[in-house]
Amino acid sequence: MPTVLILGASRGIGHEMVRQYRLEGWRVIATARKQEDCDELTQMGATAHQLDVTSADSIAALGWRLDDEKIDVAWLVAGVYGPSGSGFPTGPEFDAVMHTNVLGAMRLIPIVGPLLADTRGKLAVLSSKMGSIGARSGTEGTLYRASKAALNSVLADAAITYGAQGVTCVSFHPGWVQTDMGGSGATLTPEQSVRDLRATLAKVDKSGNGAFLDHDGTPIPW
């Protein structure tokens, strides 16, 4: 039975990932910030751990808990949008978005990467098309865009470091998804997005290491 690690599974896309992987019989390790969300993940059949991606202590504690694990697939899902405008963010807004979306990944990937090397597994981060510089056509959510561009840089580094150890590292746009972040007017349900994301990652082979893909597998310019 393969093992998937889902980082940020209390709601939205991460929560739906837990549901679908369990349905397919995978062993699921999932994280959430709050104990009550961990309890719900346990009821869904996952092994749940508390994790706040902005806390170095919390990340270190997760590292200890995962120490002996061998993981086939890891999804880094946790993220925040921050201010929706294109003006100056405040310092606290900048810190909140960058610490969650970028620093969290920079601290988690060195813990998760080695656990994937044994299985020659796959690491996927949920970035966004809004982080693409090559496909940029608007400026709203400028802080979020900058954070996802930076996350893509972190993924590109992971592809070099862990790609050499047999891990396939991919950055994904999940589509515009009906979650708290995406809103009810979004074009995809979480069920559709996650079905596509899982199928696309399953098809990606070693040659896809370091790719930036839409949920359906279409390449996105960096």
Q: Which residues bind ligand NAP (CB under 6 A)?
A: 8, 10-14, 32-34, 51-54, 77-80, 100, 126, 128, 173-174, 176-177, 179-182, 186
User: Cβ 9 to ligand NAP, closest distance in Å?
Assistant: 6
Closer residue to ligand NAP in complex, CB, 132/168:
132
User: Cβ 196 to ligand NAP, closest distance in Å?
Assistant: 13
Encode 103-134: b = buried (16+ Cβ within 10 Å), e = exposed.
bbbebbbebbbbbbeebebbbbbbbbbbbbee
User: Cβ 109 to ligand NAP, closest distance in Å?
Assistant: 14
Amino acid at the residue 77? V
DSSP assignment of 160-180 equals: HHHHTTT-EEEEEE--SBSST
> Whats the size of the chain, residue-wise?
222
**Cα–Cα distance, 107 to 46 (Å, whole number):** 23
How do strand 3-7 and strand 27-32 relate by DSSP bridges? parallel
User: Cβ 73 to ligand NAP, closest distance in Å?
Assistant: 16
User: Cβ 53 to ligand NAP, closest distance in Å?
Assistant: 4
Residue 109's nearest CA partner among 5, 217, 214, 199 is: 5
Closer residue to ligand NAP in complex, CB, 92/205:
92
Closer residue to ligand NAP in complex, CB, 165/187:
187
User: Cβ 90 to ligand NAP, closest distance in Å?
Assistant: 18
Apex 172 CA angle, 195 and 112, nearest 5:
95
Cβ count near 137 (within 10 Å): 7
Closer residue to ligand NAP in complex, CB, 119/192:
192
- In three-state secondary structure terms, 61 is helix
Closer residue to ligand NAP in complex, CB, 70/191:
191
Closer residue to ligand NAP in complex, CB, 108/207:
108
